Every structure is written in structure tokens, then in C-alpha cells.
Structure 1
Amino acid sequence: MIEDITLVTGGTGLVGRAVQEVIEAAPPQGQKWVFVGSKDADLTNYESTKALFERVRPTQVLHLAAFVGGLFANMEYKVQFWRKNILMQDNIMVLCHEHGVKKLVSCLSTCVFPDKTTYPIDETMIHNGPPHPSNEGYAYAKRLVDVQNRMYNSQYGCNYTSVIPTNIFGKHDNFNLKDSHVIPGLIHKCYLAQKAGEPFTIMGTGKPLRQFIYSLDLAKLMVWALREYNEPDPIILSVGPEDEVAIGDVARSIARAMDFQGEVRFDATKADGQFKKTASNAKLRRYLPGFKFTDIDDAIGETVAWFKANYASART
């Protein structure tokens, strides 16, 4: 007998596919998981979202869907990034309340944090100053998830919360060279360099530091948050500051996984960007002190193997 139905929005993306893989590896008894994408409902439209809720009748919701894009899209279309995300999350929360959903977990991003801050950043610092102006539409919209969660909890006692992952990578990522994040972009670049017999060139010095989380690790933590984490305040899901890695080390790990035999070159004439964005995972460790993150070289190896095997259908 099905007792719980979990609706996963954004279920066809990087994180949604990872959650699906985790659930299929150990199917929970008495639970049904429904993964939906943009073809199943327009979450910016109340009636479309309402129809989805009436079809699925969820008891829990993992809200991963968002209107996202690269740096230049964020700079050019701030109103659209603000408005579409606001509409999505408001429709989700209104319908979760109307349908008596027992638990809602929404996914934020580290871009919600202030542009000017101290490190390591933690969950208490989200509203301490404006985000970087380049993505303020998206960042301010996502900040309001935190505000809405607390308001619904205060007024209605709703169990709504949010998680904040750091840099995510893994199978089913966006490997497009123009608007992908750093690891999938470097994987695709290394693949093309190997095919062409050319040097694998990385923009910048390779010295900036980042905290990366493998999508399958994040999926496990999101399932845990859905089941066990009951604070309305957000929680950062990340490896610790001690596990920050340099972009150059990531590039060399990708080259090894690709069995790339050519030259790995760093173009120091190109800007490095922000040197680090260190986030604290102390709150997560208080809850899950024994959680084991996948070794980054192993995770990169699995991602490279998937990309090579699925190049024809991967998002490139």
C-alpha cells in the first residue's frame, strides 16, 4: 500500500536524475516517487501547477525546478530570472499548503549569499548584504524561498525548508561549452582536445579554490533532508572547507580520467574570477558526522566515463 507520494520537480535535470538513481537503487517500501520535468507542467502557471498536484496528489515535494542560465543570460534577463523563479516557488508553496503536503524541501544556490562577505559563509549570512549584481534577479528570488519557508512555518506550522548545495557535478550534467559549470565544461573541452590532438587549455591560472559535490552524494543528502531535516532554516550541503580543491587539480584529474596524453596548459592571460567561495558544512556535520563523500577523483572518473559513453545524447 502506498502511504507517501513524493513529487520531484526538475526531475529530469542533473540533481533530479541523481535522486532517481538513488531511489531506484534502494526502493523505499510504501512510497511512490514521481519525477517531472518542464514537459509535464508549467510551474510558472498556477493552473498548470494545480493540475499537476491534482494528478499526483503528493504528500511530500522536493522542489528542484528553477529558471537558470549562464552569467550573460543572468546579466541580460534579470527580470525574467526574478519573475519566473518567484512564480514557480510561490505556486509550489501555495499548492503544497492547499493540498496539505507534509514536507517541502526546496533547492537554493550559493549565489544567494552576499557578494561582500567573510569566510566561511554559513546559513545565517544569506540576508547580510546584496548578492553579486550579475545574478541579482535569480539570487533575490531564491532568497525569498527562505523567507517564505519561515512565514509558512510561523503562520500555518508548515514543514517547509531549503538546502544549499555548493558546486554540483555528475552524470546528466550540462556539458555545453558556453554555459556549463566548470567541471562539465572542462570535461567536454578535454574530450575535444583529445579528439583533435591539441593541448587541453584551461582559462586562468588554475589556482582558484572550489568545493565540489558529486550529484549522487547530493541526492543522498537531499533524500535525508526530505526525511529527517525539519528546521525551517536552510542547511548547506557540501564537503567541508578542508576539501576545497584548486581548478588546476580538477583539470589534471579530468585529464587522467580521460587518459589524455597531451599537454595540459593554463592560459594565465584570462581572468581567474573569484578566488574562493568557502562555505561551512558545520551544520550538516552536526546532523550527519559520519557521512562519507565520494572521493573527487573517483567522482570525476565516473562522470567522465558516463560522458564518453553518452556523448551522442549528452547535453552539449
Structure 2
Amino acid sequence: MKVLVTGGSGLVGLSIQQVVEEERTGCEGEDWIFLSSKDANLTSLKETQDVFQKHQPTHVIHLAAMVGGLFKNLNRNLDFWRNNIHINDNVLQAAHEVGVVKVVSCLSTCIFPDKTTYPINETMIHNGPPHESNFGYAYAKRMLDVQNRLYFQQHGHCYTAVIPTNVFGPHDNFSIEEGHVLPGLIHKTYIAKKERKPLVVWGSGTPKRQFIYSLDLARLFLWVLREYPEVEPIILSVGEEDEVSIKEAAEAVVEALDFEGKVVYDTHKSDGQLKKTACNAKLRNYRPDFYFTPFKQALKETCDWFVTNYDTARK
């Protein structure tokens, strides 16, 4: 079993690498290769084919993507569409050409319809348009699900996808302008504390999200790769009862970083999608005893990592 991980230097890729190293006894007979953007430009079909021909993987975890937070998506929807369509098509085609047995790709809950009933589940991906703030990224990711089904239909390949909720953890992109909400909040709080200024949270704080710790997600990725038998995608998430508002998340960051200043909500900034509550019943049916790291514990570990690695962290 030779596993090639695209996007191996990102948040989830590094978390998978850490879990693989920690659980070596469960990885006997597995050879792991973690690719970064330095190894190949996956928007190029030739470079993608070359790197797959070089490594000849039997299994692939496909994480590589153009990603960003709400405001980066608002400004660059076309770029998100074009780059991710190219990356995904190239990776699946190159995998097919070298005879990869299984591909596990990474989607996102933002692919679900904006106007829908809650909680959302795996059957509802294509039931309507996604939120307009990131429809380029969302539609590109939806097409991965379409392609997985077509590769199975035409070639019998077991290409599938996972749908994590909001991922966070060490090695995240803590950019304030272009990162996701939680790492951006961590960075902003760190600076506000250092400069003795108020913490300004973008938006009203009312949207709700389910956050999953990157190390928990990494462990679930390994289970999907090794054991999950379906082409149909699966949501990887904490339960509905663990959903928190952005205000609650900001308060948890303030607590974790011992910030004692004033917190201000800038309601002139967009809130984005108000909720996208996901149902993890399918996951619980397969893995009823899986333990998720409590949110505040995982957040504290992430904040501590960021403070310790501030000079080298992505930001």
C-alpha cells in the first residue's frame, strides 16, 4: 500500500503525517509520500501525471486545493473555480492512469445548498446552489463528487470523498485577511493582546459552525482510506450539539490566549453563511465510539502552538 497525499504540507496533510508517525504500529506495510506545491503544480496535467508516474501510488488522499476564508472567496470566486477544477480533474485522471485503487478527496460543508433544511446530510449536496460568497470553490468541490461517481460508473474505481466541517489546528493558515475564521481570530487576538488594543471581530458573531480538530480529522481520514467501502461521500464532523457561534468561538480564543482587552464586533463586515449544521449520523453508524477532542482543549492546544511557533507559522 503506497499512499500519495496531495497538499501534504497543509493543515490536514501535516496532521495526517503526525498521526501516521504516532501510530506506526497501525501503518505497517504502508509507504507514505507527502507532496507539496514544490513537488508539482497540480493545475498542470503534465506535472500531475509526471509525479504520479514517478511515485506509482496505490492509494491517494487528495487534499490539494486553492483555499481561503470568506473575504478571499468573495474577491476571487473565478480563481477558486478554475484552479480547483484543474487540480481535481488532473489528480483523478493521473490516478486512473497509474491504476490507483482508492482515492479519498476532501470536500467542505460549504458545498451544500445555501437554502436548505437542517441538519444537512450526504444526500443533499446537489439540491440547490451554494452560498454566493464562495460559489466558485463550492461548485468546483461538488464536481469532485460527480467525477467520483463517473469514475466508478465507467471504470469501477473506488474514488470517494469526505466532507469535514470547519477544520482547525496547528500548522493552519493564520492569515487575518485570507485565512479561515478560527485561525484568523487567533492571530487577531494575539496581536490585540500584544499591542494592548481592542479585539475587532468581523461580523455580528451570530453565525454558527461545527469545528473539527485537525488531528481528529486525520485519524478519520486514515479510517476512510483503509476501511470505508463506499463511493458515496461521508460527513466527518462533531455532532450538532457541538455547534458554536462565532461569538462563542471568539470568547474561547480570548480565554485560551488570556486576552483581557475589549472585544468589538464590526457588523459592517459580512457574516457569510449563517449556519450549515451537518449531521454526522452516517459517521456514527460506522464509528459510534470515535472520540472527538473537546473544542476548548483542541483550541488551547492550537493557540499554544501558534504562540510557540509565531515566527514560522503561516500568516
Interval containing the TM-score (normalised by the shorter chain):
over 0.9
Distance change >3 Å, CA 61–CA 269, structure 1 → 2: closer
Shift, 1:110, TM fit: 1.3
What corresponds to 1:207 in structure 2?
206
What's the counterpart of residue 237 of structure 1?
236
Question: How far apart are residue 50 of structure 1 and its match?
Answer: 1.3
Match in the other structure for 2:121: 122
Partner SS, residue 256 of structure 1: helix
**Shift of residue 202, structure 1, vs aligned partner:** 2.3
Q: Deviations over 1:42-75 (max 9, x none)?
A: 1111211111112211110000001223444434
Normalising by structure 2, what TM-score?
0.94
**Range that drifts further, 303-312 or 192-201:** 192-201
Q: What residue identity is the alignment partner of 1:85?
A: N
Deviations 1:188-213 (A, max 9, x none): 11111111122323234433321000
Residue in structure 2 matched with residue 89 of structure 1 by the alignment: 88
Aligned match of 1:62: 61
Residue 11 of structure 2 corresponds to residue 11 of structure 1:
no
Structure 1 residues 120 and 66, CA gap change in structure 2 (3 angstroms): same
SS in 2 for 1:67: coil
Shift of 1:269: 5.9
Q: Which residue of 2 aligns with 1:100?
A: 99
Alpha-carbon distance between aligned partners in 2 of 1:198 and 1:138, rounded to the nearest angstrom: 34
Q: CA deviation at 1:116?
A: 1.2
Distance 1:245 1:78 in 2: 27
SS at match of 1:172: coil
Specify the code of the residue in structure 2 equivalent to 1:232: V
Return the alpha-carbon distance in structure 2 between the equivalents of residues 185 and 225 of structure 1. Answer: 29
Equivalence for 1:145: 144
Q: Which runs of 5+ in 2 are unaligned?
A: none
The sequence identity of aligned pairs, in percent, is: 58
Q: Could you tell me which amino acid in structure 2 is paired with residue 201 of structure 1?
A: V
The TM-score, its normalising length taken from structure 1, stands at 0.94
In structure 2, give the amino acid aligned to 1:51: D
CA distance in structure 2 between the aligned counterparts of 1:300 and 1:73, rounded to whole angstroms: 23
* Structure 1 letter corresponding to 2:185: L
Give the aligned partner of residue 136 of structure 1.
135
Classify 1:204/1:81 alpha carbon distance in 2 versus 1 (closer, same or farther; 3 Å). closer
